[in-house]
Structures are given as structure tokens and as C-alpha cells.
């Protein structure tokens, strides 16, 4: 039983590291979009996009920190052979992780929406093409993440 807990917790820690990397990447891209929007004229659309992308940035950075620290805690308990705390952490982890995964998915939706809205600043043709590509990428990301079976 103890070896099973260690194996499952190590796999969970690796999955948390991967999600943490994805969150950091999306957060960085949204910061780059905000930086690009600052140079454009201040229209209502641009202000709305900046609010959406600011939400994405803050939520992705927060989720990154939570996932990285949770992974670190799992590795620490495993390395110290503290199986009682590790078992307790694994039992209660679903309740703690669920809100952050929900925020992650909402911010991914907002990210792709912000990308497609930003493209409309550069013309109708660019807006249509990038909106279609953004929708396609969104569905590919959802398909890729559904394989993880949260």
C-alpha cells in the first residue's frame, strides 16, 4: 500500500508540473498580448481585451504557483518518507485542486477569446482567420487535456 501511494503521488506531482508549465506559458503569452495592446489606440474593445487578458494573466500565474507548490509539497513528503502526511494530502487533494482547475479552464477559454478579439484590430480578414484558428486551437487544447481525465 505504501509503495502505491508513493507511485501515485509521484505521477500526480509530474502531472502538476506539466500543468504548471502550460499555465506559465499561457500567462506569458497573455502578458505579451497586453504589451502589444498598450501601443494601440484606446477603444472600448481594446480596454475590454486588456481586462480579459489581465484576468488570464493573474489566474494563470496564480494557478502556476499553486500547482508548483503542490508538486513541491508532494516531492518533499515523498523524499522524507512522510507517508502519513502524503496519504492525507492525497485524500484531500481533489477538494483543493478542483477550484484551480476550474479557473484554469475558464482562463484558457478567455485566452483564446482574447486572442481572437485582438486580431480584429488588424482588419476583417485577419480577424476572421485568427478567430477560426483560435477556435480550432481551443478545441485541440480541450481534446488534449481531456486525455488527462481529470
Residue 22: other Cβ atoms inside 10 A: 19
- pLDDT, one tens digit per residue, over 35-63 is 888 888 888 888 888 888 999 999 999 98
| Contact status, residue 36 vs residue 91, Cβ threshold 8 Å | no
Q: 110-120 pLDDT, tens per residue?
A: 999 888 988 88
Exposure string (b/e) for 47-69, b if CB count within 10 Å is 16 or more? eebbebbebbbebbbbbbebbbe
**Closest-CA residue to 39 (of 23, 54, 50):** 50
Q: How confident is the model at residue 133, as a pLDDT?
A: 93
Of residues 67 and 144, which shows the higher confidence score?
A: 67
Average pLDDT over residues 15-28: 87
**Number of C-beta neighbours around residue 142 at 10 A:** 13
Distance CA 133, CA 141 (A): 12
Number of domains in the chain: 1
List, for residues 90-147, the tens digit of each pLDDT value: 777 777 788 888 888 888 889 998 889 888 888 899 999 999 999 998 888 878 777 5
The boundaries of the domain holding residue 135 are: 2-146
Task: Return d(Cα 96, Cα 100) in angstroms, integer.
Answer: 8
Retrieve residue 63's grid coordinates. Answer: 494557478
- pLDDT value at position 93? 74
| Mean pLDDT over the full length of the chain | 83
Amino acid at each position: 500500500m505504501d509503495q502505491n501511494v508513493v507511485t501515485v503521488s509521484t505521477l500526480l506531482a509530474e502531472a502538476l508540473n506539466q500543468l504548471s508549465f502550460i499555465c506559465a506559458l499561457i500567462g506569458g503569452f497573455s502578458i505579451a498580448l497586453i504589451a502589444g495592446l498598450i501601443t494601440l489606440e484606446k477603444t472600448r474593445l481594446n480596454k475590454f481585451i486588456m481586462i480579459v487578458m489581465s484576468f488570464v494573466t493573474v489566474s494563470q500565474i496564480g494557478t502556476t504557483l499553486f500547482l508548483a507548490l503542490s508538486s513541491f509539497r508532494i516531492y518533499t513528503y515523498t523524499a522524507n518518507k512522510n507517508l502519513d502526511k502524503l496519504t492525507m494530502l492525497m485524500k484531500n487533494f481533489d477538494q483543493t485542486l478542483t477550484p484551480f482547475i476550474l479557473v484554469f479552464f475558464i482562463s484558457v477559454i478567455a485566452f483564446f477569446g482574447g486572442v481572437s478579439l485582438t486580431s480584429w484590430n488588424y482588419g476583417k480578414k485577419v480577424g476572421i482567420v485568427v478567430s477560426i484558428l483560435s477556435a480550432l486551437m481551443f478545441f485541440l487544447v480541450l481534446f488534449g487535456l481531456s486525455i488527462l481525465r481529470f
